[in-house]
Amino acid sequence: MTESKAFISGCKGLTLTSDEKAFFAGERPWGFILFGRNIGEPEQIADLTAALRDSIGNPDAPVLIDQEGGRVQRIRPPIVAQYPNGAAIGEIYRRDREQGLRAAWLMSRLHAFDLMRFGITVDCLPVLDVPIEGSSDVIGNRAYGYDPRAVAEIGAAAAAGLKAGGMLPVMKHMPGHGRAFVDSHHKLPVVDTAFDELAGSDFLPFVAMKNELMGMSAHIVFTAIDPDNPATTSAKVVREVIRGHIGFDGLLLSDDVSMNALAGDIETRARGIVAAGLDIVLHCHGIMDEMLQVARVAPVISGDTLRRVKAVEAGFAKPDAADEAALRDEFNGMLAIA
């Protein structure tokens, strides 16, 4: 089989165009990601994930989605249930720790029931960011709360629910997006907090979950570490904080290379991501010119990235034998009480 390149790609619509099929066949991204624009009806979603895999001749290629609940839920009713946001799970936890952890596990296990039917195998969850008062709502109620230890516990339960359902999680956004005062989709957030304070709060959930197989970077400048580059393109943040202080040795994906927190054209951004030592460039928008720019820069997967990719590929497990209806009833009962 031809070697894959170190990028993940989106596509433009509900079905693949001939140009997209040719691009994927020639450039061989490691995996794919779906967004709301790719969601029509159940059979179409399953057909699209199959077509994406067929385009590169890999029936096991990972297909990702952001299915958190709340406002970040790409597949919505009536196809699947509308799920609560992370803050709602955090509120259950604050009232009753064990119930909160159970709710986090249940919601992820139900996501897995939903998504696996369509051939989606990776959910970009949990959100481990710890917001502060006054920070941008780009994270906001997506976060589990303001206590980093609680965020770590809830995040671990959420990740476990996905894995019980045969999916893999992606921790986001390393090493922490909670202090951003602007939305990194549009502007570059700059955080001036001292390293020791970051280590005692923002980094803690990622340290607690450092053994997960995948994580996603934050497009944020941490002036105490690297005043010139956001984490996504900072070799120093990757080396000293994500790989060093946090101790994460899993597959490190960039957040979307199209987000305007990053400077320069798409090729320049992708080149910076690769140079910083991230494993995979993530491109979400399905814009062919941008996809070509990413593909020009993304290397063939090798070395430590290949080792991490193999660990991810070996990490998918057969789903447990849970009773979906019973779990759904249990979860809905928790929400009714809440």
Spatial neighbors of 272 by CB under 8 A, at least 6 apart, are 229, 232, 233, 262, 264
Residues 6+ apart with CB under 8 A from 22: none
Among residues 257, 139, 279, which one has the least CA distance to residue 213? Answer: 279
Among 47, 147, 185, 249, the active-site one is 185
Q: Structure tokens of 69?
A: 């609940």
Going across the sheet that includes 5-9, the strands are 168-169, 122-123, 63-65, 29-34, 5-9, 281-283
Dist. CA 300–CA 2, nearest whole Å: 10
Supply φ then ψ for residue 60, to 5 degrees: -110, 10
**From 255, 256, 279, 283, active-site residue:** 255
Architecture of domain 5-336: Alpha-Beta Barrel (3.20)
Among 91-100, 117-126, 130-139, 287-296, the least confident range:
130-139
E strand or H helix at 256, and its extent? none
Question: Average pLDDT for residues 296-315, to the nearest whole number?
Answer: 98
Sign of the dihedral through C-alpha 203, 238, 270, 311: negative
What are the pLDDT digits (tens) for 115-159? 999 999 999 999 999 998 877 677 889 999 999 999 999 999 999
For the cut 80, the answer to whether the pLDDT of residue 2 exceeds it is no
pLDDT of 193 strictly over 80: yes
pLDDT tens for each residue of 24-34: 999 999 999 99
pTM: 0.95
Catalytic status, residue 255: yes
* 31 bridge partner residues: 8
